[in-house]
Structure 1
Amino acid sequence: MDYLPLTPPGQTPLRVMTIAGTDSGGGAGIQADSRTFAMLGVHGCVAVVAVTVQNSVGVKGFHELPLDIVAGQIEAVAGDIGIQAAKTGMLASSEIIGAVADTWRGLDDEVPLVVDPVCASMHGDPLLHPSALDALRSELFPLATLVTPNLDEVRLIVGIDVVDSKSQRDAARALHALGPAWALVKGGHLRSSDHSPDVLFDGTEFHEFDADRIDTPHDHGAGDTLAAAAACALAHGFPVPDAVAFAKAWVTECLRAAYPLGHGHGPVSALFRLNA
């Protein structure tokens, strides 16, 4: 695959922020985002919204940070360092979503925002209070350049059970109606296909992306990694379809390089680029 260009040593690279929760096991969340940022040559900035207690087996609990600390991290970085793109992950509660949305609306520059609407871990452990779904739909989605839900998240957000290409397109339409500029419905969990088909919609036109399904149980952090890679590509000025195509290729290679960890699901690995 063609990588994003690296900044020469001593020059300031592009800056991309992740607004999300930590993963104490290092497989997903801010840790996964930061690995992709580093391997794609951008300077990663973070706004931590929650600290999770988790490992390869599941999420044991999480603690939300105060709203002023969440908002303050975003404002401090944007006002001094500047960012060329951002992505969200686990936001935990309607109050945090509101704080992020309010802060984002207050930024001076129009910065691309990728919203990965994390509702539950891959083990099914909840990472978003049920009351926060309305805030996600009404407050954050309208601010998003791109939303990137998986099929379980699609079901929670718009109530559509995606089982084939038709329902996948229906879901993309329903997601776009909530306000984002572009809606991506990922097909990694679409078991009716032996491939991994994704559908992107801008309200007028559909774009389809396909890749071989990688046969591995180690896919922890795949959604975070795809959204982070898309944010990096948008920071470089890629049009959204090209950014999604790049992110799709990136996460596919990260799945190929995934490794076992602990007693459960291991993470996808952006570290493969060290051997490229």
Structure 2
Amino acid sequence: MLNYYLHAENAKQALAALAKGLASVELSTDLNLSQQRFSLNEQGLILDEDNQLSIDELKYIAKKKQKIFLCCDGEFDPLEDRSSGYYKLVPTAGSPLLEISGVKMHISKGTDPFKSASEMAQQAVHSGDKVLDCCSGLGYAAIAAHRLGAREVISIELSPEVMGLRAQNPWSNDLGNEGITQLKGSSYELIDTMPSNSFDAVIHDPPRFSLAGELYSEEFYSQIFRVLRRNGRLFHYTGNPHLLRKGSGFVDGVIRRLKAAGFKKIEKIDHLMGVSAQK
């Protein structure tokens, strides 16, 4: 059973080719990982014998600019979860981003979510490291750490909705690679069960403060400090609420708590909306 992922730009390409009377069109149906040529007929787009999209269906997809549709087994449905809040994958020119109740969970402006997550990993991860990835989301930073040569990556994600979406996201497939372990649960609780001095690097990408304030606490930072080996490195994505609430000093508060937990060499990394630090 093959999965095909389509969004507004794909649909527009197919409709443009149909309008020109072409017999086929080249599309990416795996969210920009590869290109493939598909047949067209008077009715619409032929993905395979069981999956065909009519012109009306293509026009519908073309109108939904912030959604990705999974075409499979003769059906097409948006990649979203409304069971608790509103979770969905949103198309970009590269990898999809995760959006939760209207809030984008990745840096995407002027870059690509996978690329920005890779840059975060580069701030902390060296080849041969054992890495802890807190609040993994779609797993982009964990995959990037593994590609940087990490010998072991422990990836923690709490949300079943997020884990369900990433299981359907082609860009998250490498989470299944040997050397990456996926844990479901709270980073705040699970880190307490981990041995001291057991990680070379930690990537910490929590939800915004209003949703998970405990993950910005001195207590949690002290646990990260504890599990890091001497000279171990941390990259902590903070977002930029200081731009939303000017004068709040949010990031400065993060830095104060990291210092209180014992971290040194703390630096703001503005273009990644985060902070790097060392044990």
TM-score (norm 1): 0.33
Query: If each structure's strand is expressed as a fraction of its own residues, which one has the higher value?
Result: 2
TM-score (norm 2): 0.33
Q: Between Structure 1 and Structure 2, whose CA radius of gyration is higher?
A: 2
